[in-house]
Copies of this chain bind each other. A is one copy, B any other.
Amino acid sequence: MPPVTTPESVERLSRPQQVAEAIKSWVMANGWGPGHRLPSELDLIGRFGMAKGTIREAIRILEAQGLVKSRTGPGGGVFVHQVSEARATALLGNYFYFQHLTIDDIYQIREALEPELAANLAGQLSETQLAALEDVMTCYSEPARTPEEEREQHIASLRFHALLAEMSGNPLLRFLIRFTANMLADITVSRRLYSQPNRELWSSGLDYQARLVAALRAGDGEAARAILTDHMQNAHRLMKLQETVLTQRFLPEGQII
């Protein structure tokens, strides 16, 4: 009888990684939620029969994934922690560091998802929410004068989409829309992809968004979808003018829109 084969696809895990996985599934199995305190370092050292350094490295692995947080002092310890959107964004951003994402790639997703979001939200928003959207829009009611204003307006328009996403009841849709917006914002900032020629063109975004809010308020889902489809295609075309290959960078976490 052949021995229990370990497929080579399953890499040998270092001890801290093993411990991290063990703790992970332990938390899972017991259904411990955010805020639950794990055993102390000393306790874990005893349970796993390993040195302090090893245990600490394991905890660092979990912490890097955003799954736990640790505090010092009495009543301190290691606590189960809900992965933040900022961390998830940063971690996923790392994946695309070496993948050559283009403006086209990102807009292909946005063109598919944003109209879906708009249709989804029509007639579902409170007047407070609609007012919040209109509030962001005022940031670019005036045409930009300087490149700096230009940049701010572009970022603000991305914030509009982020706010819209936040109102969605679908966490996955919400995350993806904000993630793609973040990627774009990152490009515009890091590559200075906001130059003179498009000055009036961006301001046309204001018109789209005003019409969108109207459609959302009226509860006309198909109109909202059509407007955002149009908006996305236009924005795509504009960004395309300054097409560049995206040299995405590691995201130092925290800088989310």
Contact = CB atoms under 8 A, between A and B. Distances in A.
Contacts of A28: 249-250
B99 A94 contact: no
A21 B66 CA distance: 15
Interface string A54-93: 0011001111111100000000000000110101100110
Contact of A108 (B66, B100, B120): B120
Interface stretch (A37-45, A172-180, A193-201, A205-213): A172-180
Interface stretch (A109-117, A150-158, A159-167): A109-117
A170 interface: yes
A48 interface: no
**Chain A: interface residue count, which band?**
35 or more
Interface string A209-236: 0000000000000000000000000000
Contact of A252 (B24, B63, B65, B180): B24
Given A91-B92, A108-B116, A252-B21, A171 B99 contact: yes
A88 B83 contact: no
Contact of A67 (B53, B94, B104): B94
Interface of A: 9-10, 16, 20-21, 24-25, 27-28, 33-34, 53, 56-57, 60-67, 82-83, 85, 87-88, 91-92, 94-101, 104-106, 108-109, 111-113, 116, 120, 170-173, 175-176, 180, 249-250, 252, 254
Given A10-B254, A113-B113, 12 more contacts: A21-B252, A25-B250, A60-B61, A61-B61, A61-B63, A64-B64, A65-B65, A67-B250, A82-B98, A105-B171, A105-B173, A109-B173
